[in-house]
Structure 1
Amino acid sequence: MPAEPAILTPGPAWNTFVAGDNLDVLPRLAPGSVDVVYTDPPYNTGNDFVYADRFRDGSQADPYAGRHAAWTAMMRPRLQAVREVLAPHGAVFVSIDDNEAAHLRLLMDEVFGEANFLAQVVVNLNPKGRQLGRGFATSHEYVLAYARHLPDCAIDGSTTESVDEADFPRSTADGRRFRYLPLRNTNKKFNPLTAPTLHFALYGDPVTGRVATSEFPGSQALTPVFGDGRPAVWRWSRPRVDERPDDLECRVIRGRGGERVDVFQRDWLHREGGRRKKLRTIWLAEEIGSTDTAVAELKALVGHVFESPKPTGLVRRILSLLPDDVVVLDPFAGSGTTGHAVALANAADGGTRRCVSINSAEPTRQGSNARLAGLETVADITRARLAAVADQVGGGLDVVAG
């Protein structure tokens, strides 16, 4: 009997590359050994795709139904294999366009569970819009994100890069920037019935700005109310108010009913550990790069040898949601964008992320730029890019037999 293939584990190099069918390679990774997956699988544009393998089913009479079914049949076992190697705290991000976005969403609900859905991000990769074909000038694709198990997921949907200093217009005498936020909880789901411990009186003096949980000279009792006068609750508990009184201020403001006194939080721009803000679900090309910038990145390393690569900024944004020592997997590595992004992120922040990139030995097209450059397969493109990244950015490259 043939020997079982050795367990594949990324070494100290930032990048590990394996040439082979991901369905054969993924079982060689230890279950639960990967923290995050980003991948850009072959899009179903009506042409055959390299992974049209033993799962293909072209029996449907409807050619569109058969094409979608074949693509889904190709993806299902690969997503199931990805799920097996994800750690309980892990997450998967998959790029897709309109051809299969709806089918992929249903498939990922099936494989990962609808309850583990994180986001469907709109990615503005072509700001000018595609001018060929009928209909609208499409300027976006999607990234579908799912947790392995949502309660354990390590993804922090916030990042420092989305914080806008203009949102903090006020400053103290020593130059610290801040903004005022109502201490009252403005969400009407939270009220004295649903959060009774947060409905209590605070004492404030609008002349000095002082706020406390107990009465003091010059203070007046203040209870939280909504704009229509109904009782509300505070966002902070009594102990937290006692811990951070200097972050609160009593002020006179003008509301719908005229002037009133209320309590506000001074929300500082720079806090211990760094301020973070939730990412929106539309990612603009000016923030993460575009297909044009992705082509330029690849061209600077190995030439214009791959159509429509993804920009490294897209993957680096995903990496910014996680600790800097994660193990990353890309089972459809394409031109090697993910491994490149991992190396750039490590070089920028001193992280120790490691990436496993898998790509098939699909032949490059006869007469293509890649073939003219001596790159016989798409795996050759991935390997060449990651080798150039190791030379220019650092971190090394391990090439493992598929």
Structure 2
Amino acid sequence: MPTEPTSPVWNTFHAGDNLDVLPRLAPASVDVVYTDPPYNTGNDFAYADTFRDGSHADRHAGRHAAWTAMMRPRLEAVRTLLAPHGAVFVSIDDNEAAHLRLLMDEVFGEPNFMAQIVVNLNPKGRQLGRGFATSHEYVLAYARDLSTCAVDGSSAEAVDEADFPLTTDDGRRFRYLPLRNTNKKFNPITAPTLHFELYADPVTGRVSTTEFPGSRALAPVFGDGRPAVWRWSRPRVDERPDDLVCRVIRGRTGERADIFQRDWLVREGGRRKKLRTIWLAEEIGSTDSAVAELKALVGHVFESPKPTGLVRRILATLPDDVVVLDPFAGSGTTGHAVALANAADGGTRHCISINSTEPTRPGSNAHLAGLATVADITRARLSAVADQVGGGLEVVLESPDIR
């Protein structure tokens, strides 16, 4: 009797040093990387390797050099794993943002830089220490090859329904946009084929490329009366005449007739809007909400986790079947976000998480909870996610000393 096919597992976790694990994965097998590496705050970081700076440079320069030397081989390994259409997103704070930007320019190529996103994870601002109350970190985004990158820097959630105040009798929401191109770089000289007369009736609202009874000829002009161009070509006007309307408006020189496009809130395939490069806590969550997410699953066992909303916003720029990699998995936020996204939209994303077997600090919440290594934290969260959200969990023990 044939057996039922099993559903694909949403999460795979590798317990071991990422510098050992990454070369074991198949080249070009990953669509997107999100990771939150250890920040260089002056304390020793877990992934010390042997890349310590042996010079007599000052303490700060040596620490930056050691951190950069730790990150370089890992980013190089990540680049090997990325598919040609892939992309990498790395969280970082001010301590190493400048150094990481230069390093990623070297590894991925400056032309493949996509964005340096400001992430408002602490709306209240850090009140300790000197200077300003820092309320942000960054996410650096690079493509493997910008010309073929699958990232769509837009999202359906960025669309605000309040921007579409008008409603048709059948309940469809829309707004009016001038059919005239308002960008003065486009004019009869730079775009001559888009400067032509349309025929319209401001009483009935009808618009056509050909004259009809009651119509008048209208050419595109700027508010000051200078010639402009339309945003649509003649063939497009003929294809979508019902989406255009002639209206009387009051301009600088008094009332005049002009042509507008009905811009609909929803069309086939859904509406999307470009994401801005400042992501607010109210949109993606904060460090406080991230702590609450983790606490609800396994307790308060990790300092400063990232909110799942941050990763889900990144996932929303990509197809719903991507393979995701997080080589510094920390508390397991990325795997959690992948499971939540799959549960929400029926996607088949798969996340590969890697975390070190570095011991947890004696006396810490994690250590007191019986989580002896940071890998144990990741595994505990992803196991709880599998139980509560679904998708299962495959655990790979990369080092013989793992319990």
TM-score by length of 1: 0.95
CA gap of 1:244–1:49, structure 2 versus 1, over 3 A, is same
In the TM superposition, 1:98-137 aligns within 5 A as: 98-137=94-133
- The gaps in structure 2 that reach 5 residues or longer are 1-6, 399-403
Match of 1:348 in 2: 344
Distance in 2 (alpha carbons) for counterparts of 1:182 and 1:29: 52
Alpha-carbon distance, 1:191 to partner: 2.2
Superposed CA deviations along residues 102-142 of structure 1, whole A, max 9, x for unmatched, are: 11111111111221111111111111111111111111111
Match of 2:143 in 1: 147
Superposed CA deviations along residues 34-58 of structure 1, whole A, max 9, x for unmatched, are: 1111000000101111112122224
Letter in 1 for 2:74: R
CA gap of 1:185–1:58, structure 2 versus 1, over 3 A, is farther
Q: Is the 8 A contact 1:89 1:153 kept in 2?
A: yes
Match of 1:3 in 2: none
Matched residue pairs, number? Answer: 392
Alpha-carbon distance, 1:60 to partner: 4.3
Letter in 2 for 1:349: D
Distance in 2 (alpha carbons) for counterparts of 1:192 and 1:359: 59
In the TM superposition, 1:3-402 aligns within 5 A as: 12-402=8-398
Query: Per the alignment, in what secondary structure is the counterpart of residue 41 of structure 2?
Result: coil
Letter in 1 for 2:80: E
Distance in 2 (alpha carbons) for counterparts of 1:60 and 1:226: 64
- The gaps in structure 1 that reach 5 residues or longer are 1-10
Alpha-carbon distance, 1:319 to partner: 0.7
Query: Per the alignment, in what secondary structure is the counterpart of residue 119 of structure 1?
Result: strand
CA gap of 1:326–1:223, structure 2 versus 1, over 3 A, is same
Query: Per the alignment, in what secondary structure is the counterpart of residue 335 of structure 1?
Result: coil
Superposed CA deviations along residues 272-316 of structure 1, whole A, max 9, x for unmatched, are: 111111111111111111111111111111111100000111111
Alpha-carbon distance, 1:225 to partner: 2.0
Letter in 2 for 1:23: L
Letter in 1 for 2:365: N
Q: Is the 8 A contact 1:58 1:67 kept in 2?
A: no
Alpha-carbon distance, 1:182 to partner: 0.8
Alpha-carbon distance, 1:185 to partner: 1.3
Alpha-carbon distance, 1:187 to partner: 1.6
Letter in 2 for 1:193: I
Moved over 4 A (4+): none
Distance in 2 (alpha carbons) for counterparts of 1:223 and 1:22: 63
Q: What is the RMSD of the two structures over their aligned residues, measured on CA atoms?
A: 1.3
Alpha-carbon distance, 1:263 to partner: 1.1
Alpha-carbon distance, 1:226 to partner: 2.1
Letter in 2 for 1:232: A
Alpha-carbon distance, 1:192 to partner: 2.4
Distance in 1 (alpha carbons) for counterparts of 2:192 and 2:49: 60
Query: Per the alignment, in what secondary structure is the counterpart of residue 44 of structure 1?
Result: coil
Superposed CA deviations along residues 198-225 of structure 1, whole A, max 9, x for unmatched, are: 2222111111111111111221222222
Aligned sequence identity (%): 87
Distance in 1 (alpha carbons) for counterparts of 2:201 and 2:59: 73
Distance in 1 (alpha carbons) for counterparts of 2:171 and 2:72: 55
Letter in 1 for 2:301: V
Query: Per the alignment, in what secondary structure is the counterpart of residue 351 of structure 1?
Result: coil
Query: Per the alignment, in what secondary structure is the counterpart of residue 125 of structure 1?
Result: coil
